[in-house]
Amino acid sequence: AQSVTQLDSQVPVFEEAPVELRCNYSSSVSVYLFWYVQYPNQGLQLLLKYLSGSTLVESINGFEAEFNKSQTSFHLRKPSVHISDTAEYFCAVSEDSSYKLIFGSGTRLLVRP
């Protein structure tokens, strides 16, 4: 069965510092990998996704994630965070033949001035 582990429930960081949010998954088949972001009192929004091809994927607001098959990881990184990046971030996995997403428990990114 698929599962997603986000080890860090909360990550505090100062503005303009780099950040990495960790995500590991388990699956016996090929997977698609996603990061979704949830701002306070809102629904989730897709941040970036890995389907195939280049293992490094980027979002329009400076986040990137790298698919590492050998380590079954899909960590999210940003070299310099802003106050506005404060949100909860969810890693998710789906099998390549399914629309069904399995979400991790989420990591709350708290950016301090």
Partner 1 sequence: DAGVIQSPRHEVTEMGQEVTLRCKPISGHDYLFWYRQTMMRGLELLIYFNNNVPIDDSGMPEDRFSAKMPNASFSTLKIQPSEPRDSAVYFCATVGDRDSDTQYFGPGTRLTVL
Interface with partner 1 (CB under 8 A): 32, 34, 36, 41-46, 49, 51, 90, 94, 99-106
Instruction: Between 104 and 109, name the residue whose CB sits nearer to partner 1.
Output: 104
CB of 10 to partner 1, least distance (A): 13
Residue 105: phi and psi, rounded to 5, are: -80, -10
Structure tokens at 41: 């009192």
Instruction: Between 1 and 70, name the residue whose CB sits nearer to partner 1.
Output: 1
CB of 37 to partner 1, least distance (A): 11
Instruction: Between 45 and 80, name the residue whose CB sits nearer to partner 1.
Output: 45
